[in-house]
Amino acid sequence: MPDGQGLFVGGTSSNAGKSWMVTAICAWLRRRGVSVAPFKAQNMSNNSYPCAAGGEIGRAQVAQAEACGLEPEPAMNPILLKPTGHGRSQVVVNGRVWKTLAAREYYAAAGELRPHVMAAYADLATRFDVVVIEGAGSVSELNLRGHDLVNLGLVTSLDVPWIVVADIERGGVFASVVGTVQLLTARERELFRGFAINKFRGDLSLFDDGVRILEEKTSAPCLGVFPFAADVHLDAEDSLALETKRRTPPPPGARIAIVRLPHLSNATDFRLLTWADWIDAPPGADYEFVVLPGTKNTSDDLRWLHRTGLARWIAERHGAGATVVGVCGGFQMLGRRVADPAAVESIEPVTEGLSLLPAETVITESKRTEAVRARLPDGVTFGAYAIHAGRTEATEAGVQPFAVLENGSADGMRRARVIGTYLHGALENPDVCEHVFGVRPASDLKRASYDRLADWFETYARHVDRWGVPALKRTVA
């Protein structure tokens, strides 16, 4: 094993809280002066971010890097799968697009990809005292073990201790924990350190009997019963964790509907818009703003808008005075048509757009991935990032850009009550939100969330000194 010490955090299911637990452990260790880095061998997510030194990784590992006080880098997420539809995913290896593959083709490539995973982990492990490793989905998918790159196959290859997190909120916690342990191989069981119960609501002592039963059934310790943390806000790894109802009342004059596209990407763009409604069909309510987010398949999602009647509804809302905002793929949809001559995303060569902007987009095989600084017409400056395949050009004169980049080039387009931009992250800036929606969101609580997560972990974790990582023992000695 490399010089660093690893700890693997797996789950009994998707969205059990693995990302939260990894982020919490990272924040807690950093606060105690431990050099720590996050690692996830394989992500499947259309929420990604370009690293400053180049390459893109999943947003969950970006948040975890921030919790560690680190700049995100491709070694933290060497394989990123970005679903494009029709059972295929774009495969990003070490931050760069490698191939677009169907699931069976990807599994067949596991042997070719495994050295990239091992090299990335070894790189981090030689530079940090602890590498906190996140699994994917459930660790007990027996049919996937033969080509596993991210769960218990990785644990046994690296010879690292591991824990499993279960979500009590969704029910079935006894079956999921006991079943997971019973399905372990002898070697996996040898490296297993225990289970954590996540998202408990109410009096924790009410689950004391549950802890006793689970410990008896699994012969493993409970490493903590962790309460639901409503005051902590982190970037979601994928749309499974996306909230579809507003969390705060809408401000007057700024009611926002965000369209939940089938191939939605980078939903984190809208984390400050806590009053927005997510919609997937024409609603009965009126809105002052309609937002089209990013997508991994502009053409398919554009046809979905036409099929569902949302395209007509968006046009009607715009005609009634609403402002329509498109980000990345949503920007491409605002034009007159989207062409995909090389079938990069779709088998349809041309798709009719919403015709709210005099523009046309051609989807390209090459991909733009970069972090940028930009300036709005009112002087507001902000950081953002571009991750897209395609070129959008105006078909008429007189179209103004949304923003100007620091290199002097223009981004996006704007006309009366229509705004389009390729810049992800722009609306994560309160000043940009105020410019677009006329309302300034509440202060961003993201930084404070890392401290609260560290407190959450410290308060409710048990038996940390028995997790098998020397650096963890030092922190509780």
pTM of the full predicted structure?
Answer: 0.72
The model's confidence at residue 472, banded by pLDDT at 50, 70 and 90, is low
What pLDDT, on a 0 to 100 scale, did the predictor assign at position 93? Answer: 97
pLDDT, greater one: 461 or 370:
461
263 classed as catalytic = no
CB 418 within 8 A of CB 329: no
Torsion of Cα atoms, 76 then 110 then 166 then 24, to 10°? 0
What pLDDT, on a 0 to 100 scale, did the predictor assign at position 229? Answer: 81
Asked whether residue 16 carries a pLDDT value surpassing 80, the answer given is yes
What pLDDT, on a 0 to 100 scale, did the predictor assign at position 128? Answer: 94
What pLDDT, on a 0 to 100 scale, did the predictor assign at position 327? Answer: 97
Cα 245 to chain centroid, rounded = 19
Joined tokens for residue 386 = 């571009």
Asked whether residue 190 carries a pLDDT value surpassing 50, the answer given is yes
What pLDDT, on a 0 to 100 scale, did the predictor assign at position 87? Answer: 86
pLDDT tens-digit profile of 341-369? 888 887 889 999 999 999 999 998 888 88
Asked whether residue 201 carries a pLDDT value surpassing 50, the answer given is yes
Among 5-19, 51-65, 289-303, 435-449, the minimum mean pLDDT is found in 435-449
Q: Exposure of 202 by Cβ count < 10 A (0-12 exposed, 13-18 middle, 19+ buried)?
A: exposed
Cα–Cα dist 191/151, whole Å? 13
Q: What domains can be seen in the chain, in order of their start residue?
A: 5-234+448-476 (3.40.50.300), 249-437 (3.40.50.880)
CB 65 within 8 A of CB 57: no
The model's confidence at residue 3, banded by pLDDT at 50, 70 and 90, is very low
Q: Give the three-state DSSP class for 101.
A: strand
Q: CB neighbours (10 Å) of residue 28?
A: 24
The model's confidence at residue 240, banded by pLDDT at 50, 70 and 90, is very low
What pLDDT, on a 0 to 100 scale, did the predictor assign at position 475? Answer: 56
DSSP state of 169: T
Report the mean per-residue pLDDT for the chain: 90
Asked whether residue 244 carries a pLDDT value surpassing 60, the answer given is no
Helix (H) or strand (E) holding 100: strand 96-102
Helix (H) or strand (E) holding 81: strand 79-85
pLDDT tens-digit profile of 57-99? 998 899 999 999 899 999 999 999 998 888 899 999 999 999 9
* Whole-number percent of the chain with pLDDT over 70: 93
Asked whether residue 10 carries a pLDDT value surpassing 80, the answer given is yes
Joined tokens for residue 477 = 């000695």
**Active-site entry in 328, 388, 433, 435:** 328
What pLDDT, on a 0 to 100 scale, did the predictor assign at position 147? Answer: 86
pLDDT tens-digit profile of 253-288? 999 999 999 999 888 899 889 899 999 999 988 999
CB 257 within 8 A of CB 279: yes
**Active-site entry in 116, 318, 424, 435:** 424
| Number of separate helices (H) and strands (E) present in the chain | 14, 28
In the chain the first and final C-alpha atoms are separated, in Å, by 25
328 classed as catalytic = yes
Half-sphere exposure of 205 (CA within 13 A, CB side): 0
Q: Give the three-state DSSP class for 423.
A: coil
Among 20-24, 84-88, 107-111, 276-280, the minimum mean pLDDT is found in 84-88
Joined tokens for residue 237 = 């790894």
Cα–Cα dist 417/225, whole Å? 49
Cα–Cα dist 24/461, whole Å? 11
Among 16-25, 117-126, 428-437, 442-451, the minimum mean pLDDT is found in 442-451
Asked whether residue 247 carries a pLDDT value surpassing 90, the answer given is no
What pLDDT, on a 0 to 100 scale, did the predictor assign at position 395? Answer: 92
